[in-house]
Structure formats: structure tokens, C-alpha cells
Amino acid sequence: MLRLVGVGNRWRGDDGAGLAVAALLAERAPAGVDVVAHEREPLELIERFDGAAAVWLVDAVHSGAPPGTLHRFDASEHALPAELFSISTHRLGLADALELARALGRLPPSVIVHGIEGARFGAGEELSPAVAEATRELAAALAAEVATC
Amino acid sequence: MSESRTKTIRTDTLARVEGEGAMHVRIESGRVTEVELRIYEPPRFFEAFLRGRDFSEAVDITSRICGICPVAYQMSAVTAMESLCGVTVDGQVRELRRLLYCGEWIESHALHVFMLHAPDFLGFDSAVAMARDHPLVVANALALKKAGNEVMRVVGGREIHPVNLRVGGVHRAPSKRALATLIDGLERAREIALDAVTLTAGLEFPVYEQDIELVALAETGRYPIDAGPRIVSTAGLEITPPEYPDHFVESHVPWSHALHSLRRDGGSYLVGPLARFATSYEQLTPLAREAAAAVGLHPPERNPFRSIVVRAVELVHAVDEALALIAAYEEPDAPSVTVEPRAGVGHGVSEAPRGLLYHSYKVDADGTILEATIIPPTSQNQTAIEADLRAVVERSLDLPDAELSRRCEQTIRNYDPCISCATHFLTLEVERC
């Protein structure tokens, strides 16, 4: 089973990008694709992996690229570039959750991480226009990819 | 090392503490001359935000101070307001709040013991690295933490910044059946917590004892968690929460925006697991006491490095008590009582996972908050952390710089400092002159 997990915090501006993609895909996901919005702490992502043959994760990233830039990483075999997904020194982030799952033998065979470059992450802000556009673009691309799976 | 040479060691971001600050250690001619814990942004802004807000809003505003221990902030806030207004919340509604708080302790202690502190003792840079060699330990830690999260979700409405607490009680009392869904996870968690006591007790601890006054909340017959009528210490202090400001004072130090809290006579003191264990050991559940005794842990424990074992014992207690609270739970007739505002000052104290958390609010007759004071545990422990660092560095001058830095970080983590209530980066700097 393919599980698509949108990760983020809807109350922190572009950090809601992953959730926005999940919301867009939930409306048009074909049978057999499980779409999940993950608003809990990243460590609990590990539980989202259970029972999935493939997982697509969508999260906001902050690398300095123009807002709305789409990144794609295959984490099935290798760790993510931690600096893109780690915004805290005291919380274990998405990259850590993936590596913990790998160490514990709980990582699905296929893990693809889609990153959307964010611009602003302030409390109470909405998605910035470029990021909102990128979420629609990515949702359409993922829906097309699912259809060919 | 040459005594005439200046050496600076930096760890640009000290990970695995709850939050971010900076540490500066200066060594001159083999002597430690400066130890400063620098905290940039204290929760004082919250105290300002609170002015002009309604007394019923403090519970949800202060919850946002910390994502790790929101229930602590909420409980100290509601207790302050209720005591001001002459209301006591007891019976099943108090038990529900206590159960929620147990969930927070489980979640917070599990995170700290396994993910943040254990890697120091086992020689790993992170929990991820530790998981590669000790997968079962980390898998169990996740299960334990999840049991705490589930309590927060079912009782608190969600696991981060729960929304179910209010002045006068809770918004909604969960059904007995909803609480029963927690039992299996908690029973497994209890086994994991018991194993954690054995595991942590078997770690290697630096020989170090700290002669300092240990201060905690106390209540006859109950381990201090959600509330209590007295604040006690190993030096014989016994006061009520409203007397707290008569005995403790906050002072400003130039290197930190966070205030340092001291005894009024100038002495430093310590709050947290070691303090609770020292002053309320008899109130631990029999299972938790047995687990402590089985590994030779007796009150008072004065080696801060062994606080990881005390946290594991408190994990046993919190899980054990959560199960007892669920077993005894009956849905209350009403989830809350009406609380009418009253002009005056209210004081509220509870035991956050990392120690005593004091709130006070001055409120006018229509319920508007005029002044707020919040003294988090880390602010109370700062002086003790600095004293420890000084002592630990002085005893470890022969260690290579990298080792010394690691030992300093481990020392800071003994206190599970919740600097996130306050700061941005913890940079560790050791300067040898």
C-alpha cells in the first residue's frame, strides 16, 4: 500500500505546505492510496510507516532556494540532508524520524520525500503565494504519478 | 596544555536539551574563573501578554510557553486562579487533571531519559546513532513515550498544547470507556519503565555529589505532581504556595535575560526529580519504591548525574499511578464548577517534569489580569547548573577539550533544562587562558 503523509503545522505559515498537499490529494486519491495529515511531532511519523510498502512524505524545507521550489529525495537507502529538514536542536525532526525508523527496521522499502521550499514560518501566517502555487503543482504531479502506479 | 595559551572550544549548537541557550566557561591557569549560562529570551513576554487578559485565558496562553510541558503551565495557572477565587477542584475532576499531568511526565521523561540523556552515558552523539546499536531500547522508549502521548490525547484533547483544562475543572470529562483504551499501552509502558530503572542504574556515573537545598511541592499521601498544599525542602523549609515570594527572589544577571531565582538569603537551591525524590520518596507507589530500592537508589540522591535513574523511577510512578487513576475513574457529574473572579493575588504551584513551577496573578474584581509572575524550574536551577559546571570542569581539567565539552553538555542535561521556555541557541564555549 502507498501512503502519502503531509507533514507540518498549519498555524505556522509555509510549514503548512505538506498538509495542504495532503488535503488536495485526499479529495482525489484513488483506492489503495492512504492520505494522511501528520500534525503531531515528527517522532510519531514512525507509526505512519507501519504496514506501508511505500511512503511519500511531503514537508516544507528551508534551504535558501526561491520560495515554492520543489525538492525530491529518495530516502529508501540513504539519509536525508539533515540541514534541510532539521529546524530545531531539541526536537527530533523528520530526518531523525526516518533514520530512527531505518535503525529500528521500520522503514518501508520505498520512501520518497518531497520538499517544498518555504518562505515564512511565522505564527498565524498563511501559506505564501509561491508556496500555495507549489502545493497545487505538486499535488497534481503526485496525483498523476499515483494514477500510473 | 600550555598555561599561557588561550584555547576556545565551541559546540555551536548543543543539541538534546529542551531549548536553546549559550554556555561560556573560562579557564585561566588551570582554574575556572567564569561559568555563565546565557539565556536570551525568557518567558517574561508572556507575563506582559497576560496583562489585560481575562483570568480564564491564562490557562491557554501560558500553555504556549512550552511544547514539552504545557500541562505544567496550565495547571499552575488554573491552580493560581482557583485559589484566588476560593475554589478547590477535587474528586474525579482533580484526578482527571492529575492523569493528564501523568501523561505529560511520561512523555517528557521518556524523551529525556532515552532520547536526550542516555546517549551521553552510552557514548553516542544522538538517539539515532544509539538506535543502530540498541534498537530495542529505542523502540521501547518510543512505545513508552507514545503511552504518555495517548493519555494527553484522550484526556487533554491533543498531545501538544492540550485544550481540555479550564479554570474550575475541565471542559469535557472523557468516558470511562475512552480511558480504558489507554490501559494496554500503559501496562506495556510500566514494564518498559521498570526495565528503564535497571538500565539507567547500570550506566557509569561520574563520582560527584552536590550539597544543595532541594525544594519541591508536597502533599500528604501523594507524590507531588499536579498540586499540593506545601512547599518543602531538605533544609527544613515548609511553607504554603502564597508564601513562596517571601522565601525566594528573582535577580538579574548580566549574561542572561532569564532571571535567576535564589533563596532570599542568597543561597541557591534545586528543583526537579532529585528534589521530589528526596522530599516525597514515601509517596511513590510501592512498585516505584521497590524499583528504586532494587537498584540501590535511596533518598536523598545527591549525584545529579544519577537524576536519569530518578527520572526512570518517576516514570514507573507516573505510569503506575495513571493506571490506578484510570481503574478508579468514574465520570464526574459535572466537568467543572463555576468560578467567579475576585480581586486579589492568586498563587499556583505544580511540579513540571523538570521541577517546581510557580505562577502568581494579580487580578481585579472583573477578572482582568493586572500582573503575572511565572518562575519556571530552569530559572530556579540555573545557579545550581552553573555551580555544577564549575565543579565538574575543575575536576575534569585533564580531559581533552572535546571530552570536556561533552562532559559539560552531559552536566547541563542532568537538569533536563527547559530552556525552550526561554531561548534560541545553546552554544558551548570553553576558553582556556
Which residues of chain B neighbour A92 with C-beta distances below 8 Å?
Answer: 115, 127-128
Query: What torsion do the CA atoms of A57, A60, A62, A68 make, to the nearest 10 degrees?
Result: 110
**Rounded to whole angstroms, how far apart are CA atoms B67 and B263?**
28
Exposed/middle/buried for A54, CB within 10 Å: 0-12, 13-18, 19+? middle
Lowest-confidence segment of B9-23, B185-199, B322-336, B366-380 by average pLDDT = B9-23
One-letter amino acid of B291:
A
End-to-end CA distance of chain B: give it in Å, rounded.
10
One-letter amino acid of B275:
A
Total CB pairs under 8 A between chain A and B: 51
* Strongest mean pLDDT among A29-33, B36-40, B140-144, B420-424: B140-144
Please state the ipTM of this predicted complex: 0.80
Between B15 and B152, the higher pLDDT residue: B152
Q: Residues B160, A40: contact at Cβ < 8 Å? A: yes
Lowest-confidence segment of A28-42, B168-182, B263-277, B341-355 by average pLDDT = A28-42
Q: How far is A102 from chain B (nearest CA, A)?
A: 8
Rg, C-alpha atoms of chain A: 14
Domains, chain A, in order of start with CATH, read: 2-147 (3.40.50.1450)
Between B402 and B385, the higher pLDDT residue: B385
DSSP-derived secondary structure for B301-334? P--GGGHHHHHHHHHHHHHHHHHHHHHH----S-
Taking only the tens place, the pLDDT of each residue in A79-124 is 887 666 654 545 678 888 999 999 999 999 999 999 999 999 888 8
Contact flag A43-B160 (C-beta cutoff 8 Å) = no
Q: Is the pLDDT of residue B252 over 90?
A: no
Instruction: Find where cell 497534481 sits.
Output: A140
Contact flag B135-A41 (C-beta cutoff 8 Å) = no
Q: For an interface test with B, give the residue of A90, A91, A99, A107 to mutate (most B CBs within 10 A).
A: A90
Q: How far is A30 from chain B (nearest CA, A)?
A: 30
Q: Is the pLDDT of residue B189 over 70?
A: yes
Which pLDDT band, with edges at 50, 70 and 90, does B99 fall under?
very high
Contact flag A103-B135 (C-beta cutoff 8 Å) = yes
pLDDT score for B10? 44
* Strongest mean pLDDT among B117-131, B230-244, B396-410: B230-244
Instruction: Find where cell 514507573 sits.
Output: B316
pLDDT score for B200? 97
3-state SS, residue A108 = coil
- Across the range B4-26, mean pLDDT stands at 53
Taking only the tens place, the pLDDT of each residue in A7-66 is 998 888 999 999 999 999 998 877 778 999 998 888 889 989 999 999 999 999 888 899
- Across the range B22-32, mean pLDDT stands at 79
User: Nearest-CA neighbor of B98 among B169, B189, B193?
Assistant: B169
Name the residue facing B132 among A41, A44, A103 (closest C-beta). Answer: A103
Q: How far is A99 from chain B (nearest CA, A)?
A: 6
One-letter amino acid of B264:
R
- Across the range B169-178, mean pLDDT stands at 97
pLDDT score for B21? 65
Provide the whole-model pTM: 0.89
**Rounded to whole angstroms, how far apart are CA atoms B244 and A67?**
50
Contact flag B128-A105 (C-beta cutoff 8 Å) = no
pLDDT score for B116? 86
Q: For an interface test with A, give the residue of B128, B136, B140 to mutate (most A CBs within 10 A).
A: B128
Phi, psi of A74 (to 5 degrees): -100, 110
Name the residue facing A90 among B132, B142, B420 (closest C-beta). Answer: B420
Q: Is the pLDDT of residue B62 over 70?
A: yes
Which pLDDT band, with edges at 50, 70 and 90, does B244 fall under?
very high
